Amino acid sequence: MSNFFPSIYDLAMRPLEKRKFQQIRKELLSHAAGRVLEIGAGTGINFPLYKNAEHVDAIEPNQGMIEQSHARKAAAAVPIQVHQQSAESLDFPDDTFDTVVSTLVFCTIPDPVKALQELSRVSKPQTKLLFFEHVKMEHPTLAFAQEALNPLWKRVCDGCHLNRDTLHTIQESGLQVTNVTSYYKGLFLVIESENNKAIDHPSL
């Protein structure tokens, strides 16, 4: 599945991208500045939208996805380096990044809690962590339908879960959620958050 999924991903997403997602991504990524970490970058759909970043380190575990992202990386307005890594085990030092970006990734990450710990570790104090994710809906009937569809969906969509409460997981991680915007009756959320970890003052 993981070799087939990258080759159809952009085509499958095109209707949503045209209708709404490109606009959401553009607005979200206008807040990405300084040294940026993007996790689960996939086919590099966000790469053309970075305008204010100094440098983007994009991590992606799936080699097929990385191959699909080459052209967008080469055409980007800012320097982008793609690394084959997973969000649960990041090969970057503590306090490295000014902004962290995740779009449609927390549905798929096998261990979201561990991934958030890693994002917190590699981000500087006051780093912005910007998420655009699909989540379990609040409406009981729609949430029931998501639960029912989930086993099949996971198999067809390369491990993607329809029933994750990612906002709650982010809130529980200790990040401070500063803004939430809902789309499509709460199926998609833009979650803006900040890392509140203490600034480490070296002893004099």
Ligand X SMILES: C[S@@+](CC[C@H](N)C(=O)[O-])C[C@H]1O[C@@H](n2cnc3c(N)ncnc32)[C@H](O)[C@@H]1O
Q: For binding to ligand X (CB under 6 A), which residues are involved?
A: 39-42, 45, 60-62, 65, 86-88, 103-105, 108-110, 160
Q: Which residue is nearest to ligand X (CB)?
A: 42
Shortest approach of ligand X to residue 116 CB, angstroms?
A: 12
Taking the least distance from each CB to ligand X, the nearer of 79 and 110 is 110
Shortest approach of ligand X to residue 85 CB, angstroms?
A: 7
Taking the least distance from each CB to ligand X, the nearer of 103 and 123 is 103
Q: Which residue has the tokens 């990450």?
A: 109
- Rounded CA separation 44/72 (Å): 6
Q: Which residue has the tokens 């780093």?
A: 127
Taking the least distance from each CB to ligand X, the nearer of 68 and 193 is 68
CB atoms within 10 A of CB 158: 16
Shortest approach of ligand X to residue 107 CB, angstroms?
A: 7
| Beta strands 34-39 and 97-103, pairing class | parallel
CA angle 51/112/72 to nearest 5° reads 30
Taking the least distance from each CB to ligand X, the nearer of 67 and 194 is 67
Instruction: Please list the alpha-helical segments (H only) found in 30-159.
Output: 63-68, 70-75, 112-122, 140-156
Shortest approach of ligand X to residue 62 CB, angstroms?
A: 4
Shortest approach of ligand X to residue 58 CB, angstroms?
A: 9
**Contact (Cβ atoms closer than 8 angstroms) between residue 107 and residue 162:** yes
3-state secondary structure of 139: coil
Check residue 184 and report its DSSP letter: T
Taking the least distance from each CB to ligand X, the nearer of 18 and 201 is 18
